[in-house]
Structure 1
Amino acid sequence: MSEGTSALLWVAAAVFLVATVAGAIVLVVKLVRTRRLLASTDLPMSKKLLFWGAIAYLVFPVDLLPDPVLIDDLGVLLLALRSLNKAVPEGVARRAGRRDHRK
């Protein structure tokens, strides 16, 4: 492998790592904002279970992709958060301190 190819691979790996970390940070912020919604009795239990299932998938060692690659974990969690946010009634979003719960 030439030095140019090796450098390109290192750059690609660094960009991938930065993108994964940025995605993880965004999801942590969304998780912190979601904690109040999970306590609400107005949300369907199926959406709450989907969310906790995504958290379990994130923690468990068995993955679709090897563990250093967090794309599948982050994707499952992002889909669960999106599903949970779409199920939020308008009044619950206001009580949780969120202006626009559909974003």
Structure 2
Amino acid sequence: MGDGWDLLSTLGVVALVLVIVSAVVVLGLAIVMVRRHRKVHQPGVPVSAKVSYYGSIIYALSPVDALPDPVLIDDIGVLAAALVYVGHVVKKVARKRSKTSS
């Protein structure tokens, strides 16, 4: 009986560590996304980038998820994808703006 409980307690600790690590990753991604607020609201940034920005933050904070809450893989994916997209769009707008001002 001792070996079974040792395995269960080890699995429990591993699961807890995974939940904590994924929560920290989600928090970090959300902070990076929120820091892009000013860039997203510059003139010339399309509505799709703004929708992606707000949608990803709302999804990460929402209790309704594609996967149960302890599993934050979906939140990580949504935030990471939105960061890539918003970053790409903001850089594109900045390049366009620098070409027209030169």
SS in 2 for 1:88: helix
The TM-score with structure 1 as length reference comes to: 0.72
Partner of 1:38: 40
How many angstroms does 1:49 deviate by? 0.9
* CA-atom RMSD in angstroms: 2.3
Compare relative contact order (CA 8 Å, sep 6+) and give the higher one, 1 or 2.
2
The TM-score with structure 2 as length reference comes to: 0.72
Partner of 1:88: 90
Select 2:19's aligned residue among 4, 17, 20: 17
Gaps of 5+ in 1: 94-103
Identity value in percent: 35
How far apart, CA to CA, are the structure 2 residues paired with 1:6 and 1:52?
40
Q: Deviations over 1:8-48 (max 9, x none)?
A: 21221132023113202321330232111122113221111
Contact preservation (8 Å) 1:42, 1:89: no
Gaps of 5+ in 2: 96-102
Matched, 1:47 2:49: yes
Question: If each structure's helix is expressed as a fraction of its own residues, which one has the higher value?
Answer: 2
Q: Work out which of the two has the higher radius of gyration on C-alpha atoms and give 1 or 2.
A: 2
User: Between Structure 1 and Structure 2, how many residues are aligned?
Assistant: 93
